[in-house]
Amino acid sequence: MDLIIPDISLIIWNFLSIVNLILCIIAIIKLANNHSIVYRKKIAFLFAIIFLPFIGVLIYMAYHKKTKQQRA
């Protein structure tokens, strides 16, 4: 009986996909709970998060951090 061991690239790809999924879910929850963003911007960020997953999350997190600093 041969033991099937996945390739390291497959393991890394799966790990990055899971991290990306978690970041997308967190970003969508934060976006939904953020009342300081206008409705149109929320829709734009939601499309960015869904259609450009990793880049969209980074853009939203950078924007969210900037608006948080301006309120403080």
For the stretch 23-53, pLDDT in tens is 889 889 988 998 888 889 889 888 888 888 7
Q: Which of 55, 66, 60, 53 is nearest to 22 (CA)?
A: 53
Is the residue at 44 inside a domain?
A: yes
Residue 22: pLDDT band (50, 70, 90) is very high
pTM exceeds cut of 0.85: no
Is the residue at 20 inside a domain?
A: no
Q: Range of 64's domain?
A: 27-72
> Considering Cα of 30, then 35, then 37, then 38, what sign does the dihedral take?
positive
Is the residue at 62 inside a domain?
A: yes
Gap between the Cα atoms of 61 and 26, Å rounded: 10
The confidence score (pLDDT) of residue 25 equals 92
Gap between the Cα atoms of 30 and 19, Å rounded: 16
- The type of residue at 54 is F
Is the residue at 32 inside a domain?
A: yes
Residue 63: pLDDT band (50, 70, 90) is confident
Please state, as a whole number, how many other Cβ atoms lie within 10 Å of the Cβ of residue 57: 21
Domain count, the chain: 1
Q: Is 90 exceeded by the pLDDT of residue 56?
A: no
